[in-house]
Amino acid sequence: MKQQYIDKFLIFLIALLMVFAIFLQVTTYNSTQNLQNAEIERSKLYAKKIVTLLRLATSDNIEKTLDEKLYLRDGINKVLYAFLTEQYKYIFLLKKDSKNKYRFLADGSQKDTIPYKEYFFPKSTQFDKVYESQKMQLLTQGDENEELWVSLVYPVMNDKGVEALLVLDLSKEYAAYLQTFNSPLMKVIRFMQWFLALSSLLLIFLAYRYYKAREVLTKDALTLANTKFYLNEFFYTHKVDNYYFILMDIDDFKLINQRHNRQIGDAVLRSFVERLNINLPKKSSIIRLSGSEFLTLIPKKETKGFKAFVESLYSSLVNSSYSVHKKEVAISLSMTAIDTPNDVRKIDNILRLLDEKLLKIKKTGKNRLEILKNISIAEVRYTSMDYIKDALEHERFTCLYQPICSSDSKEIVKYEVLVRMIDRDDKTKLVTPKYFLNTIRCTRQYTKLSKFVLSEVFSTLNKYPSIELSMNLDLDDLDNEDMMQLINEYLTSYKENASRLTFEIIEENEIYDYKKVNNIFAQLRRYGSKIAIDDFGSGYANYTYLSRLDVDIIKLDANFVYDLENRPKEAKIVIESIQSLASKLKCQVIAEFVHSEEIYMMFKEIGVEFVQGYYLGKPKALKEYLLEI
Amino acid sequence: MKKLIIILLLLYGQAYALEVRSTLKLYHHLFSSMSSKKSVNVYVEDVEYANIFVKSKYINLVSDVDKADFILVTTDKMLMKLNTKHMSNDTIIITNKYSHMTQSDKIVGAFYYRKGRKQFLFVKPRLEEHNVTLPSMYKKYIVDEL
């Protein structure tokens, strides 16, 4: 699950807990209120009973009766005392005199009983209100009174109206006692509140720590550019297709460090980023991917004329030297940029395309800018690991066959097996390996694909005993134990067909251990298979291979075709020399990319024995060629 | 742990301070309502009250009854002593017990608690005798006679 969703879920969970705690608190408060209200209702009934008793003892005029019958004063006090249970702090009887002053008529307190007709000055006007309204009033005493919770002022009526006031004071202790009914719940709530408060504090603390840690993780201390961490995080909340991407690498940066020193090198990097910042539009970001490799994200909205902008940026970065520590340091820069197609969702796909392009620039002279143009969303998708994995799982791979012919008769002598991925949405669309092979190299998917090709090759050889096949094999695969084991298993299982198979070795890197390679070639040859060197004359595939490796066939690089078209005289001499050398070494020569009759005739005249190319046959399903024959 | 003890002590100190503050506030108001002096001399024998009044800049505690502007009676013994002594009209005697008001005409007013409620009581003729006019907030506590 993405981090942002986890964060949102946690915040939601804490908010939910807070709401739950508030709900519990409100419910508990209401429950306590209900208990207290019930108690007040009970007190009203109490007051009514007391008044009934008073009436029985004093007929219809309490004051007059008590004035006349002194013995009754104590009796009434005792009656009130009898009602003084744990919930009541005080019960007493008041009367307003002719001067509107309140006086005690009776007091239920056994200790320090208030004398008859002592003055009493109520703070609240509610007492007067009872006289006026002839209705009971409730007085909440508030925090300033430490003893009393609520007072019930009950009118004692006679024919003329309110004769006296019966006051029942409910104690604070009793209110606290009522609250104890809900105290276990209150404890849980308080615990929850503390827990939530502490959790919130912890969250704030963690957020602060995260912010600080993030700052360290997302900012490169040397150049102040962003780091890869920032890149990953950035596209949690931003759409990839809203940005242009430029990948650049300062060529041979190690040499700058060597020629000058590390401090100068660091200063160059800082100046480079500063210059980049000046030249980039608003809201762009710079990410330092590695030592001298930078990626920039440019919002599409901020840039018009992407190509012109990138070219201008490139020249501004390389056309003048960097002045650091009183030294002028010139740099060369390899740069590639992409106008991201709409609907691209994953940054990895874009980075892969840029990486491949930059690698190509680096391998072919460095110090230049190449813009990836007209890249379609489909092409981006073809480089996606998920897409390729899905294709393998759903068997959306197939093999095509391109004929290799005798140059004398144009007769097909063998076929080169070429693997293709089938587009998910358009089954007629076949995708060449240049899109997907680099993505899956060195992964389990690569082994899976190799297994598919080997299975296809050997099943075809088995099915058609008269044909020969040729399949590509990367030199790096020979170093891979799993791959070699797989090939050996197939060779052993189908050893009767192995002699009709040629392994075309393609290489990306220079060979250092020729002995080891020859040993592997010997394994491949065990049952009669042949070894061909692909793209001979380009990169590392040169004359050294002929002298050091045991090969059966050499396949000429496409550049020879280009040379034949542009510098035919010189090209013919070189090809003739290769042909002659190969003949002496008992190697066959195959010319590839023969796309016209003119080129075919040239190779034929030179004496190249075998030819392959669109002129002789495009990659097709094998059945189509077999039907033609 | 030390910090916790200090915090608890401070909280206790704060609660005590509030008690002192509220008592002082009440007596300040009462004294200033009955006297126009910038500071008043008070005679009190009760140690608890003395400890509170000593914290006031407005109240000066005096040990001589004759020098007092106000005398606060808190015990029957003190009341008896005062009853036998001739007092100047400039000295106002107040008490914290209702019963003292009924026992001595010399006492002008009282501040006490009844049924958990604060009570003031002033007797009109006694106020007049001392030429004391109370602010309106005390008017409702004035009675003609006891």
Higher pLDDT, A59 or A316: A316
Nearest CA in chain B to A168: B115
**Chain B contact set for A148 (CB, 8 A):** 116-117
Task: Residue window 101-130, chain B: list those with CB within 8 Å of chain A.
Answer: 114-121
Instruction: Name the pLDDT band for A271 (thresholds 50, 70, 90).
Output: very high
Per-residue pLDDT, B13: 47
Q: What phi and psi, each to the nearest 5 degrees, are found at residue A70?
A: -60, -35
% chain A with pLDDT above 90: 55
Among A339, A360, A377, the domain boundary falls at A377
Task: Residue window 249-268, chain A: list those with CB within 8 Å of chain B.
Answer: none
Q: For residue A116, give every residue at least 6 positions away whose Cβ sits within 8 Å of its Cβ, in sequence order, or none.
A: A66, A73, A104, A105, A106
Of A30-34, A578-582, B34-38, B76-80, minimum mean pLDDT range: A30-34
SS (H, E, C) A67-112: HHCHHHHHHHHHHHHHCCCCCEEEEEEEEECCCCCEEEEEECCCCC
What is the number of other CB atoms lying within 10 angstroms of the CB of residue A4? 11
ipTM of this model? 0.87
Nearest CA in chain B to A97: B143
Tally of domains in chain A? 3
Per-residue pLDDT, A145: 82
pLDDT digits (tens, 9 = 90+) for A112-146: 899 999 999 998 888 999 999 999 999 988 877 88
Please determine, for residue A455, whether its predicted confidence score (pLDDT) is greater than 50: yes
Per-residue pLDDT, B12: 47
Residues A128 and A232 in one domain: no
Angle between helical axes of A559-566 and A568-584 (0-180°, round to 10): 140
Per-residue pLDDT, B11: 47
Whether residue B143 and residue A114 make contact (CB cut-off 8 A), yes or no, is no
Residuewise pLDDT in 10s, chain B (146 residues): 455 455 545 444 444 444 788 889 999 999 999 999 999 999 999 999 999 999 999 999 999 999 999 999 999 999 999 989 888 888 999 999 999 999 999 999 999 999 999 999 999 999 999 999 999 999 999 999 98
Please determine, for residue A280, whether its predicted confidence score (pLDDT) is greater than 70: yes
Instruction: Name the pLDDT band for A334 (thresholds 50, 70, 90).
Output: very high
Residues A171 and A270 in one domain: no
Q: Is residue A223 domain-resident?
A: no
Assign A512 to helix, strand or coil. Answer: coil
Per-residue pLDDT, B5: 55
The mean per-residue pLDDT over the stretch A482-487 comes to 88
- The Cα–Cα gap between A199 and A369 comes to 53
Per-residue pLDDT, B3: 53
Q: Domains in chain B and their CATH numbers?
A: 2-143 (3.40.50)
Please determine, for residue A477, whether its predicted confidence score (pLDDT) is greater than 50: yes
Let me know: does B102 contact B80? Beta carbons within 8 Å: no
- The Cα–Cα gap between A583 and A23 comes to 93
Residues A43 and A174 in one domain: yes
Sign of CA dihedral A565, A570, A576, A577: negative
Task: Residue window 4-33, chain B: list those with CB within 8 Å of chain A.
Answer: none
- The Cα–Cα gap between A52 and A58 comes to 10
Count the alpha carbons within 13 Å of B57 in the hemisphere toward its beta carbon.
1
Among A348, A377, A406, the domain boundary falls at A377
Q: Is residue A461 domain-resident?
A: yes
Whether residue B117 and residue A123 make contact (CB cut-off 8 A), yes or no, is yes
Nearest CA in chain B to A150: B116
Q: Is residue A119 domain-resident?
A: yes
Whether residue B115 and residue A145 make contact (CB cut-off 8 A), yes or no, is no
Locate A602 and state its tokens: 């040239």
Residues A304 and A412 in one domain: no
* CATH code of the domain containing A283: 3.30.70.270
Sheet with B107-114, strands from edge to edge, namely: B59-61, B40-44, B70-73, B92-95, B107-114, B117-123, B142-143
Assign A51 to helix, strand or coil. Answer: helix
Could you write out the DSSP letters of every residue in A429-440? -EE-HHHHHHHH
Report pTM.
Answer: 0.53
* CATH code of the domain containing A409: 3.20.20.450
Query: What residues does A469 pair with on adjacent strands?
Result: A415, A501
Q: Is residue A557 domain-resident?
A: yes
- The Cα–Cα gap between A144 and A147 comes to 9
Q: Is residue A196 domain-resident?
A: no
Please determine, for residue A304, whether its predicted confidence score (pLDDT) is greater than 90: no
pLDDT digits (tens, 9 = 90+) for A64-89: 999 999 999 999 999 999 999 888 99
Whether residue A148 and residue B121 make contact (CB cut-off 8 A), yes or no, is no
Let me know: does A431 contact A440? Beta carbons within 8 Å: no
What is the number of other CB atoms lying within 10 angstroms of the CB of residue A403? 23
Residues A243 and A134 in one domain: no
Average pLDDT of the residues of chain A: 89
Residue B58 touches chain A, beta carbons under 8 Å: no
Nearest to B116 among A114, A118, A147 (CB): A147
Scanning A163-305, the segments in alpha helix (DSSP H) are: 172-180, 183-218, 228-237, 253-259, 262-279
Residues A167 and A238 in one domain: no
Among A327, A355, A377, the domain boundary falls at A377
| Greatest mean pLDDT range, A250-264, A312-326, A392-406, A468-482 | A392-406
Per-residue pLDDT, A541: 61
Region label for A70, one of left (φ > 0), alpha (ψ between -120 and 50) or beta (otherwise): alpha
Locate A539 and state its tokens: 């990169």
Task: Name the nearest CA neighbour of A580 among A609, A560, A601, A602.
Answer: A609
- How many beta-carbon pairs under 8 angstroms link A with B? 38
- The Cα–Cα gap between A585 and A596 comes to 29
- The Cα–Cα gap between A528 and A498 comes to 6
Residues A30 and A162 in one domain: yes
CA angle A7, A13, A16 (to 5 degrees): 140
Residues A464 and A541 in one domain: yes
Residues A401 and A348 in one domain: no
**Chain B contact set for A99 (CB, 8 A):** 143-144
Q: Is residue A195 domain-resident?
A: no
Whether residue B116 and residue A123 make contact (CB cut-off 8 A), yes or no, is no
Locate B71 and state its tokens: 């005398």
As a whole number of Å, the CA-based R_g of chain B is 17
Residues A29 and A147 in one domain: yes
Range of the domain at A145: 3-180
Residues A538 and A449 in one domain: yes
Q: Is residue A218 domain-resident?
A: no
* Dihedral, CA of residue A384, residue A390, residue A396 and residue A399, to nearest 10: 60
What are the angstrom distances between the C-alpha of A568 and each of A57, A157, A496, A574, B64? 141, 133, 43, 10, 136
* CATH code of the domain containing A111: 3.30.450.20
Nearest CA in chain B to A118: B146
What is the number of other CB atoms lying within 10 angstroms of the CB of residue A598? 12
Whether residue A145 and residue B117 make contact (CB cut-off 8 A), yes or no, is yes
pLDDT digits (tens, 9 = 90+) for A168-201: 999 988 888 887 877 777 788 788 888 888 888 8
Residues A356 and A396 in one domain: no
Q: Is residue A16 domain-resident?
A: yes
Instruction: Name the pLDDT band for A539 (thresholds 50, 70, 90).
Output: low
Per-residue pLDDT, A25: 82
